[in-house]
Chains A and B, each alone.
Chain A
Amino acid sequence: MSTSTAGEEIVPTTLGGKAADYLDQRLGIAGAAKKNLRKIFPDHWSFMLGEVCLYSFIILLLSGIFLTLFFTPSMGDVTYNGSYTPLDGIRMSEAYASTLNLSFDVRGGLLMRQIHHWAALVFVMGIMVHMLRVFFTGAFRKPRELNWIIGFGLFTLALAEGFCGYSLPDDLLSGTGLRIMQGLVLSIPIVGTYISFFLFGGQFPGHDIVPRLFTIHILLVPGLILGLITAHLILVFYQKHTQWAGPGRNDKNVVGLPLMPVYMAKAGGFFFVVFGFIALLGGLVSINPIWVYGPYVPNQITAGSQPDFYIGFFEGALRMMPNVEFNFWGHTLSLNVLVPFAVVPGILFGGIALYPFIEAWITGDKREHHILDRPRNMPTRTALGVAGITFYGVGWLNGGNDLIAIRFNLSVESITWVCRFLIILGPIFAFWLTRRICFGLQRRDRDKVLHGAESGIITRSPEGAFSEVHTPLSQGELHKLTAHDVHRPLTLTEVTDANGVPAPNLRRAKLRAKATQWYFGQRVEKPTAEEYHESITSGHH
């Protein structure tokens, strides 16, 4: 395009210029382009985790479309007669037979299946890691609470989507998984049996579940995910990315590199890198070799029947739960199933979804935040997160208790018992330990600010004493290490009315005062300017 000053008519000369001009005359794209082409994105490896999720979702869409061209979502009986001869003459569903054909007769079919499955694991793993990053850095705070909720929605949809996909091939593992799911549904009080019959079109397994899950898996859930991802990205774009504290970076700006060209190349390149990596996995590492499992038959089972990793927590919780069941007035309440399948995950997931609001209420912080918290500077939040990871991790671990028992020559019962205690005690210990570590790290930062960084150079004084030379920090580093707020607990007076009249909800106010005391009661103060000058001038380090 020719450059020109304001007011001069712009006459496009190149083909691309002409196309842009054509669109601009109809859509006015130049305005949007002017604003967004040089949009700034900050550089940090942890900001790439969400992109992993986005890209693996695109890979899932692409490979999934290919798979639908060959997969037959039907539970109709066929006798297999394909090129996988060990299953020759065996009765199976059309779904399973078509998956075998995909794997052995369609060129690139096995590759696409494996890419699809690996991408699914990367998708869910990416979401989990991305959520942890956002949690530990406080990126969910105002104004991004809504995007946290959207992200949480994407997380739960991804779990559901993964489970549906796992169930489609109708092999022995996926059928077993569905059977377990149906057993879980049956435990729901009052409506469980009805939901099960509506879901399966009658008794389990029936003939409807695969086609129904197919529609859910390829249309309903991906549609929702696509919509939510769009909203998620629009909000990220509109609200601009958060950034780490550092010289020149504050809550009013964002420092980084422009979308055009740097982030187009970096993010675009990352898509291809992720896709290439997953394609290599698909070509080199087996995943879900359904032909080895055999078709689903309700009286067959294999040792080590396991779900994909993201269902592992539920599986482990189911294995761990003591066998509590109540019978009353002709009804059965199976807490041994309901608690690990619905109650505990409900509390855990509810807590995750609502955390931004709970924390904002406890801290009373209504300001906008664009500078991320270093996890150590929010010890209670970080400790809660680690406690949550521990809780989830113990459940997850117990989901593989049989394989652990085999690998390490232990008894599966003792692993289960250890996990039963560990799932309660582990998070408590993790919470305590993480807070201690955070305070320790904060003190180290404080020492670094006041006395400089350890240089590794040892000097010997004329008197013979050895000491390490501490290098004073640059002002940029000083700023970075002191940019955070040290929060203080709200006192009860602060939560009462300005005139000293008790707030209408005194009970709530008291609870809040307690919560904020728990949250911020123990803290490490930042060094003040006076302390710093004192330290510098005394030459004390």
Chain B
Amino acid sequence: MKMIKNSFNMSLMSRSSNESFARATVAAFATQLDPTIEEISDIKTAVSEAVTNCIVHAYDNTLGKIYISAEILDNNTIKIKIRDKGKGIENVEKAMEPLFTTVGGERAGLGFAVMMSFMDSVKVRSALGKGTSIIMTKKISRRYSVNG
């Protein structure tokens, strides 16, 4: 069991204007791990995908609540949980396949592919009619530099 060194949690309405707020908040929390610009960017992108999924899929563009929490673990890892109480995913395995999308049109179907590529681990739990939770972790490289 990893020790939790710090944590936060928040909930927000599933409005698309909150996408930038959500990723910026998690990124700001993650800065205490002294991540590189690339690592911060990876976290922001993964959070943006997960939150967009809640808005577009879980709540089908209706209003519901999105619950976001994050923990800093003692091995320099950030663990992020993004949860909704929306419609749930019928087939999680299929939903995680690249280019699979139920809405078509302007959605690329790459949300999970981005999360899996940019984070170290992504776990999805979903129950139809109850909601979905996504837990992602990323270990932040420790930077030791003679130049400070």
Is this pair of chains taken from one and the same complex? no
Residues of B within 8 A of A (CB): none
